[in-house]
Chain A
Amino acid sequence: MNMLEVRNLKMHFPLRQGLFNRKVIFLKAVNDISFTIKKGETMGLVGESGCGKTTTGRAICRLYDPTGGEIIFDGENIAEYDNKKLLPIRKKMQMIFQDPYSSLDPRMTVGEIIKEPMVIQNLYAQKDATDKASELLSRVGLKREHLNRYPHEFSGGQRQRVGIARALAMNPEFIICDEPISALDVSIQAQVVNMLEKLSEEFGLTYLFISHDLSMVRHISHKIGVMYLGRLVEYAETDELFLSMLHPYTKALISSVPTIVNALNKKQSHAVIKGEVPSPINLPEGCVFCKRCVYSMERCKIESPEMKDIGGGHFVSCHLYS
């Protein structure tokens, strides 16, 4: 049973340039990506900054209006729903944000923050809402007396827990975690990841886990999508991806991470790829990665590769495998 199916999702932002802003060009933040997430599954989305992973997450929960494509959530295509139709959907789909400092309103108490979505959705009476909020706080490892405190009284890890409690307030089925741990310290990261795993087991939650931390994504996800410049370049089950990664970008990304094991084995961990991510405004004609790719061929410069299933649900978009 699919929780979410994304088909050819496109998110282009218009930018105005030139005299009197008459020239309109498009920043293609997300360009034609497709994937599915089954119920109870965790999908990781990795890539460098600016590759469109956050935009994908935000387009899926309809904080943006997608330029094209379908978002089939729980059997309904929500890509073109208006706000009114989205309200019941939002109850089932929640988001945890990257920065626990800016995603909580500093003028609301933790209790008010957690209760706000319940009030909007008319889920509980005021008194029950308070009970529910304190129950949620204990779920995420905070205490009832924290209800009346303000966000500035908490540490980063505690704030992220408040953000998670807020997302859980709706009893959602699907949570988009947008870099939920990247602002936290290593020891606190492990606490939050363990909690997310436990909650997913308890409530049968489905996650889209967006992160640039490959080792953490590998740990938490059932399958992983690798994004580069608005495109999904490779997509497979986690173990399959790490055992037989195919796309040159995936290989480069994984070997760029300095690890303790490599250091102890005296292995050079960085097989460095040259250059930087080009601007998504004037995308190259062919494969988006061809300028940095060591295997780049003539064909890569002209023709954009299609996403191909090379067996066992392992998708790759590269001319080397066609």
Chain B
Amino acid sequence: MELLNVKNLRTTFNVDEGRVQAVRGVSLKVKKGQSIGIVGESGCGKSVSMMSLMRILPKNADINAESILFDGVELTDKKPAYISKLRGNKIGMIFQDSMTSLNPLFTIGNQLVEPLKIHQGMSGSEARKKAEEMISLVEISNPKKRFSQYPHELSGGMRQRIMIAMSLSCNPKLLIADEPTTALDVTIAAQILLLMENLQKELGTSIIMITHDLGVVANMCDYIYVMYAGVIVEQGCMESIFSNPKHPYTIGLISCLPASIGSGKKRLEPIMGTPPDLIKPPEGCPFTDRCKRAMIVCKAEMPKEYDLGKGHIVKCHLLHPLAQKAGKGVIV
């Protein structure tokens, strides 16, 4: 049963220099209780696509989609007021930087109680009780004391726990976690990931995990989307993405990691160059300029999706039957 089905999402920003096409036709599905991961480098559109779903982008953003089906309801033609009832209620979100996403002027308790009062219509004392429950659910000791503390009195790890408590307080069906552990130390990050895993098992929430850390998605997600320059270039279940990657970008990302070449003193294999400018995105495959196996056709034409079975879908001309025959002879 699908909880979320997004078809052909496009988001552009109008800026002085032109129109930045940040998301260029993203389609994704999330099943109930599933956790999916979206990986990619900064600026590839992974956060923007999720913010487009939540409609929390600035005014200069244009969001278009063929269809966004959430829990059986079509969201594309809904008014902002309807979406704001979903936000924090049916869809929770955890942001990367817990210091700037919590309001420094209000106590932890005040911020935890707010969604409960607004979305669930709880009274003050009910909401307080629930908020304290949530604080202990995320394994923070002494919830009564924490309730009246301010964000600056807590450490980074604890603030991220509060963010998780806040986003889960209304029992959302979907939790969007945008780089939830990037700002944290490894031992704390491991604690937070374990907490999220346990809570997911307990509450059955679906999770969309946005991150650039391949290790994190490998351990947390069942199904993975790899994004590059606003396009999903490869998708598949965790095992097929990491043990049998097909798109040169995915292969490149994995071989950039020191762990992939073992402990020997071999050189890393970086992806040369930088991502394309999205004001004038290339007509063909966006990865052409950095791709070691680029062909003439790559520059001219956006590749179609090749389905390799078991949900492993790759957007690359190399999978065209003729490309196999041509071999490496036609490199641009």
Interface residues, chain A, with chain B CB atoms under 8 Å away: 48-49, 155, 157, 185-191, 193-194, 197, 212, 214-216, 218-219, 238-239, 242, 252-253, 256-264, 269-270, 272-274, 276-277
B259 at the interface (CB under 8 A from A): yes
The reply to whether B263 and A215 contact each other, CB–CB distance below 8 Å, is no
Q: Whole-angstrom distance between the alpha carbons of A269 and B217 in the complex?
A: 12
Total contacting residues, chain B, CB less than 8 A: 43
Q: Chain B residues with Cβ under 8 A from A269's Cβ?
A: 190, 215, 219
B153 at the interface (CB under 8 A from A): no
Q: Chain A residues with Cβ under 8 A from B215's Cβ?
A: 257-260, 263, 269
Partner of A264, one of B212, B218, B257, B271: B218
Given A219-B261, A276-B157: 5 more A-B contacts, CB < 8 Å: A49-B185, A186-B212, A190-B256, A260-B254, A261-B259
Q: CB-nearest residue of chain B relative to A263?
A: B218
Q: Chain B residues with Cβ under 8 A from A253's Cβ?
A: 186-187
The reply to whether A258 and B242 contact each other, CB–CB distance below 8 Å, is no
Q: With A190-B256, A193-B268, A258-B190 as given contacts, are A212 and B185 in contact (CB-CB < 8 Å)?
A: yes
B184 to nearest A CB, angstroms? Answer: 9
Contact residues, B246-305 vs A (CB, 8 A): 252-254, 256-261, 263, 267-272, 274
B191 at the interface (CB under 8 A from A): yes
Q: Chain B residues with Cβ under 8 A from A187's Cβ?
A: 41, 252-253, 256, 270-271
Q: Whole-angstrom distance between the alpha carbons of A218 and B261 in the complex?
A: 12
Q: Chain A residues with Cβ under 8 A from B263's Cβ?
A: 218, 238-239, 242
> Nearest 10 pairs between A and B by C-beta?
A263-B218, A219-B258, A190-B270, A270-B190, A48-B185, A256-B190, A187-B271, A258-B215, A185-B41, A191-B270
23 contacts between A and B (CB under 8 A): A185-B42, A186-B253, A187-B252, A188-B41, A188-B270, A191-B271, A194-B270, A212-B186, A215-B257, A218-B258, A242-B263, A253-B187, A258-B190, A258-B215, A259-B215, A259-B219, A260-B215, A260-B242, A260-B259, A263-B242, A264-B242, A270-B191, A270-B194
Q: CB-nearest residue of chain B relative to A157?
A: B274
B136 to nearest A CB, angstroms? Answer: 16
Q: Whole-angstrom distance between the alpha carbons of A261 and B157 in the complex?
A: 26
Which of B191, B220, B243 has the largest number of chain A CB atoms within 10 A?
B191
Q: Chain B residues with Cβ under 8 A from A252's Cβ?
A: 187
Q: Whole-angstrom distance between the alpha carbons of A197 and B215 in the complex?
A: 24
The reply to whether B186 and A48 contact each other, CB–CB distance below 8 Å, is yes
The reply to whether A219 and B268 contact each other, CB–CB distance below 8 Å, is yes
Interface residues, chain B, with chain A CB atoms under 8 Å away: 41-42, 155, 157-158, 185-191, 193-194, 212-216, 218-220, 238-239, 242-243, 252-254, 256-261, 263, 267-272, 274
Q: Chain A residues with Cβ under 8 A from B258's Cβ?
A: 215-216, 218-219
The reply to whether B41 and A186 contact each other, CB–CB distance below 8 Å, is yes
Q: Whole-angstrom distance between the alpha carbons of A186 and B39 in the complex?
A: 11
A102 to nearest B CB, angstroms? Answer: 17
The reply to whether A189 and B256 contact each other, CB–CB distance below 8 Å, is yes
The reply to whether A197 and B219 contact each other, CB–CB distance below 8 Å, is no
Q: With A252-B187, A276-B157 as given contacts, are A258 and B216 in contact (CB-CB < 8 Å)?
A: yes
Which of A48, A197, A260 has the largest number of chain B CB atoms within 10 A?
A260
Q: CB-nearest residue of chain A relative to B267?
A: A194
Q: Whole-angstrom distance between the alpha carbons of A189 and B239 in the complex?
A: 25
Q: Whole-angstrom distance between the alpha carbons of A253 and B220 in the complex?
A: 19
Which of B155, B188, B258 has the largest number of chain A CB atoms within 10 A?
B258
Q: Chain A residues with Cβ under 8 A from B213's Cβ?
A: 258
Q: Chain B residues with Cβ under 8 A from A214's Cβ?
A: 186
The reply to whether B187 and A185 contact each other, CB–CB distance below 8 Å, is no
The reply to whether B190 and A263 contact each other, CB–CB distance below 8 Å, is no
Q: Chain A residues with Cβ under 8 A from B238's Cβ?
A: 263
Q: Whole-angstrom distance between the alpha carbons of A97 and B214 in the complex?
A: 25
The reply to whether A259 and B259 contact each other, CB–CB distance below 8 Å, is yes
Q: Chain A residues with Cβ under 8 A from B188's Cβ?
A: 48, 276
A211 to nearest B CB, angstroms? Answer: 11
Q: Whole-angstrom distance between the alpha carbons of A188 and B158 in the complex?
A: 31
Q: Whole-angstrom distance between the alpha carbons of A273 and B41 in the complex?
A: 29
Q: CB-nearest residue of chain A relative to B268?
A: A190
Q: Chain B residues with Cβ under 8 A from A197's Cβ?
A: 267
Q: Whole-angstrom distance between the alpha carbons of A239 and B268 in the complex?
A: 18
B227 to nearest A CB, angstroms? Answer: 13
Q: With A157-B274, A186-B41, A190-B269 as given contacts, are A260 and B256 in contact (CB-CB < 8 Å)?
A: no
The reply to whether B257 and A186 contact each other, CB–CB distance below 8 Å, is yes
A317 to nearest B CB, angstroms? Answer: 18
The reply to whether A276 and B155 contact each other, CB–CB distance below 8 Å, is yes
Partner of A260, one of B193, B218, B271, B274: B218
Q: Chain B residues with Cβ under 8 A from A262's Cβ?
A: 218-219
Q: CB-nearest residue of chain A relative to B256?
A: A190
